[in-house]
Amino acid sequence: MIFRSVALLVLCSVTVGTGALRAQDRSKFVVAGVLGFSSVTQRTALDTTKSSGTLFGLEAGFRYWRAELRGRYSQGGLEPNGGGQSTDLVEGELMLGVWPVDMLALRFGPRARSYVTNAGTVRWVFWEVRARFEASLSRGSSLWSYFEAWYALTGSVNAAESFGNGRGLEGGIGLLIPSTPVRLRLGYRIDQGRLQEDSRTEAIEELILAVGVGR
């Protein structure tokens, strides 16, 4: 039922977007390296654990007309703030989106997150719907800001408890260096996954620096 709703939403967005499409700049491609300074807060009924670390990743996006496909992958190590065994964090996502108007994108797709320890791997999978706003801050779009919020329509986790919900947001600014295809981005992201009955929550906060190229 949820998938049908999302499919209908995407279809409507494509229809609206097609009506407003313009011929120029029909295809865009961006690829960027991402450096994330992450902080993870894991809370259970018994305790709260905080860890932090640096993630390295790669993201790429392709846009044609008002349709878009983008993916992201990052991984890194997290060190518990109170000391203890380190954890590897691996994240990946693949989103399909549409831009019904120039400032707004609607996206849908899966995002997976894994915590890898010696004891095993905890894997979260979120099926998310996202809304992203982008606005130019200067003429010619060389400087822009963005804000993106998402909500997990469904998900799964390989734990004793079942998946509860997930949500998050990201905001930041981007700069296209004049006369070059080089793009810089500074962003902040917060994301939280929750198991049912609040038995466990995991929140990832990340300060993002990205350097990419694209047209």
Binds another protein (CB under 8 A): choice among 7, 8, 137, 177: 137
In angstroms, the first-to-last Cα distance of the chain is: 38
* Alpha-carbon Rg for the chain in angstroms: 18
Judged by CB, which is closer to another protein: 114, or 201?
Answer: 201
Using rule CB under 8 A, residue 79 touches another protein: no
* Separation between Cα atoms, residue 33 and residue 140, nearest integer Å: 24
Contact yes or no for 80/49 (Cβ under 8 A): yes
Residue whose CB is less far from another protein, 21 or 103: 103
Question: Hunting for tokens 């080089």 — which residue is that?
Answer: 182
Amino acid letter, 46: L
CB 83 within 8 Å of CB 50: no
Q: Which of 55, 168, 183, 210 binds another protein (CB under 8 A)?
A: 168
Binding mask 172-211 for another protein (x = CB under 8 A): xx------------xxx-xxx--------x-x-x-x----
Q: How many residues bind another protein (CB under 8 A)?
A: 33
Q: Answer for the pair 183, 30: CB distance below 8 angstroms, yes or no.
A: yes
Which residues of this chain interact with another protein, rule CB under 8 A? 37, 39, 41, 43, 48, 50, 133, 135-139, 143, 145-147, 149, 167-169, 171-173, 186-188, 190-192, 201, 203, 205, 207
